[in-house]
């Protein structure tokens, strides 16, 4: 199967300012990152703060260029000086903070239709119809169309952020800690939604997280980063059941985890009992 996303020896350098007693120089934040993600699969990237996860996410979403190496999307090499609108539509990102990523002064309907205005020639009626359909698809209601972000719960806002990312039919979603700001029961609902959307639209995910229980639930493959390098990379079961690198073992031992399956079961019991959940 052809890889939707492939990174070959990606590096990223940042310039450092000089001073009275030191020369200006560079710091290498990413040190030769290589991986690929096949269509319909999920690669989870884990590691402690400062390991380079967010730097890599900005490169994968075409926000920042890499300093070296090759990035390929659908087999097409990405060149920072020749980013086409079509290429940008293929990759979308969902951020950690759903409220911070939404314009508080923009109604939900306008927010969802905006990508269509910028990227399609759809009529106003068609844009509205697509936005309404996407609201329903992520578990919200048509009457939410004219509301503002502050009128929603955290889980609902993240559903809106996911809906907006899907409006232009991307091939790849980069999910940067998408459930870490949510309550545990709401996390399970959003993870279930992401799994359903992946199956329905054959989406490819790069899922960045520090929560190992979430990673174990959603990932097909896992990549562990440390100080800008990949120290472990393999299938989910291989990495979790028999981590080969000492850093991976220490990371797993030091990270508190939650039981996502138990959360899902609790949510299901509440639904069966007719008790609502705020998501």
pLDDT in tens, the chain (279 residues): 679 999 999 999 998 887 777 787 889 999 999 999 999 999 999 998 889 999 999 999 999 999 999 999 999 899 877 888 888 899 999 988 877 778 889 999 999 999 999 888 999 999 999 999 999 999 999 899 999 999 999 899 999 999 999 999 999 999 999 988 788 888 889 999 999 999 999 999 999 998 888 899 999 999 999 999 999 999 999 999 999 999 999 988 876 655 666 666 666 776 677 655 556
Residue found by looking up tokens 């990495």 in the block: 239
Q: Structure tokens of 8?
A: 């070959």
Nearest to 29 by CA among 76, 65, 78: 65
Residue found by looking up tokens 């290498």 in the block: 28
Between 3.40.50.10490, 3.40.50.1100, 2.40.50.180, 3.40.50.300, what CATH number should domain 3-272 receive?
3.40.50.300
Nearest to 175 by CA among 116, 218, 231, 114: 218
Q: Structure tokens of 33?
A: 């990152």
Rounded Cα–Cα distance for residues 211 and 188 (Å)? 13
Rounded Cα–Cα distance for residues 116 and 164 (Å)? 10
Long-range contacts, 195-198 (Cβ 8 Å, 24+)? 197/137, 197/138, 197/162, 197/166, 198/40, 198/42
Q: Structure tokens of 210?
A: 């520090």
pLDDT at 39: 95
pLDDT at 274: 67
Sorted by where each begins, the domain ranges of the chain are 3-272
Rounded Cα–Cα distance for residues 245 and 237 (Å)? 15
Nearest to 149 by CA among 191, 188, 111, 92: 111
């Amino acid at each position: 199967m052809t890889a939707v996303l492939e990174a070959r020896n990606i590096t990223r350098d940042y310039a450092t300012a000089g001073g009275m007693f030191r020369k200006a120089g560079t710091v290498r934040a990413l040190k030769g990152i290589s991986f690929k993600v096949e269509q319909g699969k999920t690669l989870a990237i884990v590691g402690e703060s400062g390991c380079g996860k967010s730097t890599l996410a900005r490169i994968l979403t075409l926000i920042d260029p890499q300093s070296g190496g090759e990035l390929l999307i659908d087999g097409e090499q990405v060149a920072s000086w020749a980013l086409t609108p079509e290429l940008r539509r293929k990759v979308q990102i969902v951020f950690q903070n759903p409220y911070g990523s939404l314009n508080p002064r923009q109604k939900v309907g306008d927010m969802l239709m905006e990508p269509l205005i910028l990227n399609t020639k759809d009529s106003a009626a068609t844009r509205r119809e697509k936005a309404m359909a996407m609201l329903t698809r992520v578990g919200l209601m048509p009457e939410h169309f004219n509301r503002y972000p502050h009128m929603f719960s955290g889980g609902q806002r993240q559903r809106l952020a996911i809906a907006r990312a899907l409006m232009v039919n991307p091939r790849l979603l980069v999910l940067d800690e998408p459930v870490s700001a949510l309550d545990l029961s709401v996390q399970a609902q959003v993870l279930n939604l992401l799994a359903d959307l992946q199956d329905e639209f054959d989406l490819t995910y790069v899922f960045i997280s520090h929560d190992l229980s979430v990673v174990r639930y959603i990932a097909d493959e896992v990549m562990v980063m440390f100080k800008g390098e990949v120290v472990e990379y393999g299938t989910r079961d291989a990495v979790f059941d028999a981590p080969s690198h000492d850093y991976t073992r220490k990371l797993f031992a030091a990270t508190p985890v939650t039981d996502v399956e138990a959360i899902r079961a609790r949510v299901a019991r509440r639904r069966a009992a007719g008790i609502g959940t705020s998501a």
